[in-house]
Amino acid sequence: MEVIVDNTVFTNFALIRREDILKKVFEDNLSTPDAVLAELQQGEEKGLLPKRDWNWLKVLRIESEQEKYSFDLFRQRLGKGESACLSLAANRNLKVLTDDLDTRRLAQRREIPVSGTIGVLVAAVKKGIISLEEGNRLLKKMIEYGFYSPLTALDSLL
């Protein structure tokens, strides 16, 4: 299943300079809306995020009338990036990666598959991309950078 990623997840991996994990876990099935890419680039320009290479990402745009309609509905409650992710996911049958609680709740209500940073780390461990020890170390580093995580270690999920 193709996966669409919100800024919250990109930010966590960018801050620790390990966006390569996203690329390895999802291979060619990873995309993001143009609105999210713009948010990432703004964060880099303002010095909030380290400059990273995002050229490997597939960038999606809201195109159909149904996608525009869904986007407008989600925009009543969410930001541009989150709304674009949910609209594209709902209309193109994609899984969403986000750590934003409101976005996750809306996705679940609409039966859109959703995961986040912890799910990516767990998948990376299960696929042998990183060890459990490295996954825990990376999670700790993300938390130090401000990621509000419900867990401090991945052990209970593996």
Residue by residue, DSSP assigns 128-141 as: TSS-HHHHHHHHHH
Q: Which fold has domain 3-157?
A: Rossmann fold (3.40.50)
Q: 151's torsion region: left (phi>0), alpha (psi -120 to 50) or beta?
A: beta
Q: Locate 8 and state its tokens.
A: 């919250």
pLDDT number for residue 131: 97
Locus of tokens 């419900």: 150
pLDDT single digits (tens) 32-75 = 999 999 999 999 999 999 999 999 999 999 999 999 999 999 99
**pLDDT tens digits for range 89-116:** 999 999 999 999 999 999 999 999 999 9
- Structural domain spans, the chain: 3-157
Q: In what order do the strands lie in the sheet with 30-33?
A: 58-60, 30-33, 3-5, 95-97, 114-115
